[in-house]
Amino acid sequence: MRLHVADHPLIAHKLTVMRDENTESPTFRLLVDELVTLLAYEATRDVRVTQIQVTTPVATTTGTHLAAPRPIVVPILRAGLGMLEGMTRLLPTAEVGFLGLQRDEKTYEAITYANRLPDDLSGRQCFVLDPMLATGHTLVAAIDYLLEKGARDVTAICLLAAPEGLRTLDEAIGERGDVTIVTAAVDERLNEHKYIVPGLGDAGDRLYGVVD
């Protein structure tokens, strides 16, 4: 597993405003969208391409085109939906699949409740959107699911990560796939409730409000 922390002043600035508990949902949603686009730029650095011939108004030249099969973007419901537009802005031709995973607040394990993905992901580059890599259980479940469907090249884009979650993911995935984590920051730790510290709270609630 590879880890890429996107060290950029604009990313740090947006993340700082998002951390502020006084930042309201509309601003938070806008900042997530902008931050994901910046992270997506880093995450797609190794996206597969092919060369094609194009004719400009002046001459014929060799250009670059995204290779087939198209990449697939997989937001983890529900908070991952807030990252989808920022990602597809950079990869508009990508297909979009969905995974519904939620954390059991007693065991902190991930529970799958919905999925909408192709049956065969062989040869596909997969980009998973999950705002918070905390315990790592949700992302492990998501990547396991993709690997079971034949994927081998998986990049997860997270706003924040905790050291505990990174260790869990590294131990669980091992050498079974080519997995990269792209994040804006790796924070200090998890607290007793398994929230990232200093973190930014519950990303889903801050995006969409509290839903009982």
What residues have CB less than 8 Å from 132, skipping those under 6 apart?
Answer: 79, 158, 159, 160, 161, 196, 199, 203
Catalytic residue among 103, 144, 152, 178: 103
Catalytic residue among 7, 20, 120, 202: 202
Residue 168 CA to residue 10 CA, distance in Å, equals 29
Catalytic residue among 144, 170, 178, 205: 205
State yes or no: is 202 an active-site residue: yes
Q: Do 5 and 184 touch, CB atoms closer than 8 A?
A: yes
Q: Strands (DSSP E) along the chain, which ranges?
A: 2-5, 49-55, 60-66, 72-77, 95-96, 98-103, 110-116, 125-129, 132-133, 153-161, 178-186, 189-190, 196-197
Catalytic residue among 55, 107, 119, 212: 107
State yes or no: is 205 an active-site residue: yes
Residue 141 CA to residue 133 CA, distance in Å, equals 12
State yes or no: is 107 an active-site residue: yes
Catalytic residues, by residue number, are 103, 107, 202, 205
